[in-house]
């Protein structure tokens, strides 16, 4: 077997990889526009939105920039409880926004009560939330957090990074009133890196009209102008779109609910295994990621040695992120990862533990 258990890029189905070899066509053509309209229609199903989904070139971080740059003139509240929410805060600041931090310790969630308090103290145009903190394996209670924003500060836009969860975990974009929600191609959607996807509400676009200095490349209104013509302002990532088309067909044929259940089952299996083997997840019960398990390294495993051992068997996992390196390790179970892959990984891991 050859399989990666890292939280992106993930393994891509060979048929999806092959789809990229389809020849190029002019992007200003009815043929391309038809395919592009089709991928957007399928993406709307995955995003659980009726509104719109953009499909621009750029990785997910580019859409973090799009969100903060277009959807606030000045005041942003950044919820920070891990590396990617920290990045989003930095993106806001370096785009000249006045961003305040609502912080929680790495490994903890953003508490809805604390978000409510912060929103009562000051009026914010937008709040940024990372749904699934890939660095810590924490799933923030997004539905509750969004409900708090709607209740306490209804004019504040809700910006969500769902890079490592969308497609693997049910996120109800329209029902929960999320204004801007982004993901990358190379994680739960199991595509090669290079594309991002974002849904935006009508009120988000209305807000963008009032914001100065939206830039050019990441201007949401320019994106919208082209989206309604089934196109992009710049040259699209054509090969990736061929792959996207095939992968979305696979995902929708499998059924999204089955996919969510399958991710939850893999997370259960890995997290239960960790406990049986004298370790435990970093996140508290009820808030553990369904797509990437961050496990406390309570057995003092030499992660580099473990990965060397695994690599000889065609597998690899991820070390902890930043300060959590070696103190934790991460096993991703997203995209096309199947339970039999997990079984094989855990069996090899156990054999390694016996050699320690
Ligand atoms: C990977 C990741 C990112 C960064 O995405 P890129 O596609 O590498 O730009 C942002 N947020 C989260 C939660 C991630 O897991």
For the CA of 185, the nearest atom of ligand 1: 7
Distance of CA 220 to the CA centre of its chain: 19
Distance, CA of 172 to CA of 316 (rounded, Å): 32
Q: Tell me how far the alpha carbon of residue 9 lies from the centroid of ligand 1, in angstroms.
A: 10
Best residue among 9, 58, 60 to mutate for probing ligand 1's pocket (most ligand atoms within 8 Å of CB) is 60
Q: Tell me how far the alpha carbon of residue 210 lies from the centroid of ligand 1, in angstroms.
A: 28
Q: Are 48 and 171 in contact (CB under 8 A)?
A: yes
> What pLDDT is stored for residue 1 in this prediction?
74
Q: Would you say the CB of residue 184 lies under 6 angstroms from ligand 1?
A: yes
Q: Would you say the CB of residue 59 lies under 6 angstroms from ligand 1?
A: yes
pLDDT tens digits, 22-73: 999 999 999 999 999 999 999 999 999 999 999 999 999 999 999 999 999 9
Best residue among 10, 84, 166, 291 to mutate for probing ligand 1's pocket (most ligand atoms within 8 Å of CB) is 84
Sketch out the chain's domains with CATH numbers. Answer: 3-9+256-353 (3.90.1150.10), 15-252 (3.40.640.10)
Tell the burial category of 136 from Cβ atoms under 10 Å away from its Cβ (0-12, 13-18, 19+): buried
Q: Are 110 and 140 in contact (CB under 8 A)?
A: yes
Distance, CA of 6 to CA of 207 (rounded, Å): 37
Distance of CA 352 to the CA centre of its chain: 31
Distance of CA 23 to the CA centre of its chain: 30
For the CA of 132, the nearest atom of ligand 1: 13
Residue nearest to atom 5 of ligand 1 (CA): 60
Query: Which pLDDT tens digits describe the chain residue by residue (356 residues)?
Result: 799 999 999 999 999 999 999 999 999 999 999 999 999 999 999 999 999 999 999 999 999 999 999 999 999 999 999 999 999 999 999 999 999 999 999 999 999 999 999 999 999 999 999 999 999 999 999 999 999 999 999 999 999 999 999 999 999 999 999 999 999 999 999 999 999 999 999 999 999 999 999 999 999 999 999 999 999 999 999 999 999 999 999 999 999 999 999 999 999 999 999 999 999 999 999 999 999 999 999 999 999 999 999 999 999 999 999 999 999 999 999 999 999 999 999 999 999 999 98
Q: Would you say the CB of residue 219 lies under 6 angstroms from ligand 1?
A: no
SS3 content of the chain, % helix, strand, coil (to 5): 40, 20, 40
Find, among 146, 154, 147, 103, the residue nearest to 124 by Cα. 154
Pairing label, strands 138-139, 132-133? antiparallel
Q: Are 241 and 249 in contact (CB under 8 A)?
A: no
Q: Tell me how far the alpha carbon of residue 355 lies from the centroid of ligand 1, in angstroms.
A: 35
Instruction: Give the H or E element holding residue 288.
Output: none
Distance, CA of 86 to CA of 101 (rounded, Å): 9
Q: Would you say the CB of residue 84 lies under 6 angstroms from ligand 1?
A: yes
Q: Would you say the CB of residue 8 lies under 6 angstroms from ligand 1?
A: yes
Residue nearest to atom 13 of ligand 1 (CA): 163
């Amino acid at each position: 077997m050859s399989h990666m258990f890292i939280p992106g890029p993930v393994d891509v189905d060979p048929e999806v990889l092959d789809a990229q070899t389809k020849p190029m066509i002019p992007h200003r053509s009815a043929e391309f526009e038809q395919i592009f309209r089709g991928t957007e229609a399928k993406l709307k199903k995955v995003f659980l939105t009726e509104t719109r989904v953009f499909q621009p070139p750029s990785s997910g971080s580019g859409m973090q920039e799009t969100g903060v740059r277009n959807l606030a003139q000045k005041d942003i509240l950044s919820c920070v409880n891990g590396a990617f929410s920290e990045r989003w805060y930095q993106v806001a600041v370096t785009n000249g926004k006045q961003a305040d931090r609502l912080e929680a310790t790495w490994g903890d969630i953003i508490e809805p009560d604390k978000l409510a308090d912060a929103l009562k103290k000051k009026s914010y145009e937008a709040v940024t939330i990372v749904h699934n903190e890939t660095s810590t394996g924490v799933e923030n209670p997004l539905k509750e957090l969004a409900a708090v924003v709607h209740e306490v500060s209804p004019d504040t836009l809700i910006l969500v990074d769902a890079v490592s969860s969308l497609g693997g975990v049910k996120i109800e974009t329209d029902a929960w009133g999320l204004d801007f929600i982004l993901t990358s191609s190379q994680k739960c959607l199991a595509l090669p890196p290079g594309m991002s996807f974002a849904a935006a509400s009508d009120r988000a676009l209305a807000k963008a009209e009032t914001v100065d200095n939206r830039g050019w490349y990441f201007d949401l209104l320019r994106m919208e102008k082209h989206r309604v013509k089934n196109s992009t302002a710049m040259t699209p990532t054509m090969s990736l779109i061929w792959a996207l088309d095939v992968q979305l067909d696979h995902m929708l044929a499998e059924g999204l609910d089955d996919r969510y259940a399958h991710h939850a089952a893999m997370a259960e299996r890995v997290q239960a295994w960790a406990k049986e083997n004298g370790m435990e997840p970093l996140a508290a019960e009820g808030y553990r990621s369904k797509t990437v398990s961050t496990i406390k390294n309570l057995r003092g495993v030499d992660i580099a040695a473990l990965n060397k051992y695994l690599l000889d068997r065609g597998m690899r996992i991820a070390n902890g992120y930043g300060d959590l390196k070696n103190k934790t390790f991460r096993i991703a179970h997203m995209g096309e990862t199947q339970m039999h892959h997990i079984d094989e990984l855990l069996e090899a891991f156990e054999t390694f533990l016996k050699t320690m």
